[in-house]
Amino acid sequence: MIPTIDWFLLLEATYGLIVLAVVLRVIYDSNSTSKTLAYLLLVILVPVVGILFYFSFGINYRKRKMYSKKLATDEIFLKNFENRMEKIKKSFTEKQFPLVESNRSMIRLLSNKNMENSPLLINNQAEILLNGEAFFPKLIADLKQAKHHIHLEYYIYENDEIGNQIKNILIDKVKAGVAVRFIYDDFGCRSIRKNIVVELREAGVEIFAFNKITWIALANRMNYRNHRKIVIIDGQISYTGGINISDRYVNAKKTTPALYWRDTHLRIFGDATYALQHIFLSDWNFCSKQSLTVNEDFFPLIDCDDCAKLPMQIVASGPDSQVPSILYSVVKAINDAKSEILFTTPYYIPDESLQQAMIMAAMSGKKVKILLPQVSDSKMVQWASQSYFEELLEAGVELYFYQKGFIHAKSFVTDSGVSSIGTCNLDHRSFDLNFEVNAIVYDTDFADQMREIFYADCEHAVRLNHKRWYKRTHWKRLQNSFLRLFSPLL
């Protein structure tokens, strides 16, 4: 008698072996305990979908060295460029900036070769720009003055009024002989793929998607996003910060308070533009498959003798980084603050090191204040974020919720005179998965401006009361705690 095959049992055993193999893969591939546990829960508790989710979003491309950042280099210019950097360093040593000396440990950390070797550059002027109504007029004026090249790199570029206005300027500049290169994130800029991208390309703008999305690799490439916002004009003027190219950032046209969009950007004139240019060229050579060389057209000697000496470091991080550079810079700033550190962020889903740094700073008597939006644009992210609040409140961290509209700024300032404006949120995605960039500034006057901006924003915010938060319902606590299990994946 031929034995019958129990196909259900066979299928169950096969699936069990697949789950075991995936579990071993998760353990082997991740160096983060919290992320490993989150993926294990997903794979084990959510049949089939959990495995598909892991292979779509969980592969660690940092280990695989997916992103090469080697620039073809003109050796003669590189030598001159290094000499130029050496002169800047000597100038700094002779001038002995007190604030730089007091933050020497931070500067050494960010200058480490494992941290992308971000040099300290002092010959800079910088202007803080609040919201689109301050940013876009400045950007448009600078774009119109471009003579050699314009480089843009954006996470979101919308097919709206401001997007088309800038598009037309770029087309005019190409006709005038200016080289225009544009990197756009294929996920964030999906609304312009079939219109503005086509028009710019046909007009002569060199434009490439960063890590273009295809159906075969859809989820993976959506997971590793280029969240940077960079503009470089003639290698001398640059912009970075939280503002994308979209009408939503221009509040002058809005009548509904709920639509108010609060953000912070930075305009730089000076040597720090070199660092942003290097990041752009690295990204460009990756996504365009070209080999642009380092030369004097991209890194011109900047006449900055009359510049206010503003010491600055540009810190980049992403799946291609050896270490989470921006996360390290944030934790270091918290540890080095003397008595006060002020954060503004639209999202707060920290890893353990950041959460513990916040708690330790508050328990040490430092004033730690975090400004968040009252209502997030993602409920799941907001609920996961809330799971961290009670620990912070118990330690003495002050949490404020912006009520005038949506606060999208990504910045911090400490009483040690260290400030940051950039693209990086205080969450797992920004620290580990996205390509990000922050400008770190060492200057008392600049820090005072940042501090004034923070407290001006707090006038439109309410502080979270610890006793009230502690009394939230059991259902709310369960909801927060459950989503915290998956917070490394959000």
Q: What's the CATH number where 292 sits?
A: 3.30.870.10
State the Cα–Cα distance between residues 359 and 366, nearest whole angstrom: 10
Which residue of the set 29, 160, 336, 415 is catalytic?
415
Residues of the chain with pLDDT under 50: 1, 61-66, 216-217, 219
Sign (positive/negative) of CA torsion 127, 156, 348, 476? positive
**What is the value of pTM for the model shown?**
0.84
- Is 474 an active-site residue? no
- 318 occurs within a structural domain: no
Q: Are residues 250 and 161 in the same domain?
A: yes
> 165 lies in which domain range?
72-107+119-312
- 112 occurs within a structural domain: no
Q: Are residues 260 and 355 in the same domain?
A: no
- Is 415 an active-site residue? yes
The DSSP secondary structure of 144-203, one letter per residue, reads HT-SSEEEEEES-B-SSHHHHHHHHHHHHHHHTT-EEEEEEETTTTGGGTTTHHHHHHHH
Instruction: Find where tokens 């939280």 sit.
Output: 242
Contact status, residue 189 vs residue 227, Cβ threshold 8 Å = no
Helix (H) or strand (E) segment spanning residue 245: none
Residue where a domain terminates, one of 312, 340, 355: 312
Condensed to tens digits (0 to 9), the pLDDT of residues 434-479 reads 899 999 999 999 999 999 999 999 999 999 887 776 766 656 665 5
- 244 occurs within a structural domain: yes
Q: Are residues 41 and 131 in the same domain?
A: no
Query: Tell me, what DSSP letter sits at residue 430?
Result: I
How many domains is the chain partitioned into structurally?
A: 3
Residue where a domain terminates, one of 285, 312, 339: 312
What pLDDT is recorded for position 304? 66
Q: Are residues 364 and 266 in the same domain?
A: no
- 13 occurs within a structural domain: yes
Q: Are residues 273 and 347 in the same domain?
A: no
- Is 234 an active-site residue? yes
Q: Are residues 280 and 357 in the same domain?
A: no
Nearest to 219 by CA among 383, 19, 433, 64: 433
Q: Are residues 60 and 76 in the same domain?
A: no
What pLDDT is recorded for position 62? 47
State the Cα–Cα distance between residues 445 and 448, nearest whole angstrom: 5
What pLDDT is recorded for position 56? 57
HSE-up of 138 (CA within 13 Å, CB side)? 22
- 317 occurs within a structural domain: no
Query: Tell me, what DSSP letter sits at residue 259?
Result: G
Nearest to 241 by CA among 318, 141, 160, 136: 136
Q: Are residues 15 and 141 in the same domain?
A: no
Contact status, residue 232 vs residue 280, Cβ threshold 8 Å = yes
State the Cα–Cα distance between residues 388 and 385, nearest whole angstrom: 6
Which residue of the set 35, 167, 173, 229 is catalytic?
229
Helix (H) or strand (E) segment spanning residue 312: strand 309-317
- 136 occurs within a structural domain: yes
State the Cα–Cα distance between residues 295 and 307, nearest whole angstrom: 23
Q: Are residues 444 and 418 in the same domain?
A: yes
- 224 occurs within a structural domain: yes
Q: What are phi and psi of 177, to 5 degrees?
A: 95, 5
- 90 occurs within a structural domain: yes
- Is 185 an active-site residue? no
Which residue of the set 410, 427, 432, 460 is catalytic?
410
Q: Are residues 329 and 243 in the same domain?
A: no
Q: Are residues 349 and 420 in the same domain?
A: yes
Which residue of the set 167, 265, 332, 408 is catalytic?
408
Contact status, residue 417 vs residue 444, Cβ threshold 8 Å = yes
- Is 366 an active-site residue? no
Which residue of the set 142, 234, 432, 457 is catalytic?
234
Q: Are residues 369 and 246 in the same domain?
A: no
Residue where a domain terminates, one of 64, 82, 99: 64
Which residue of the set 35, 151, 167, 227 is catalytic?
227
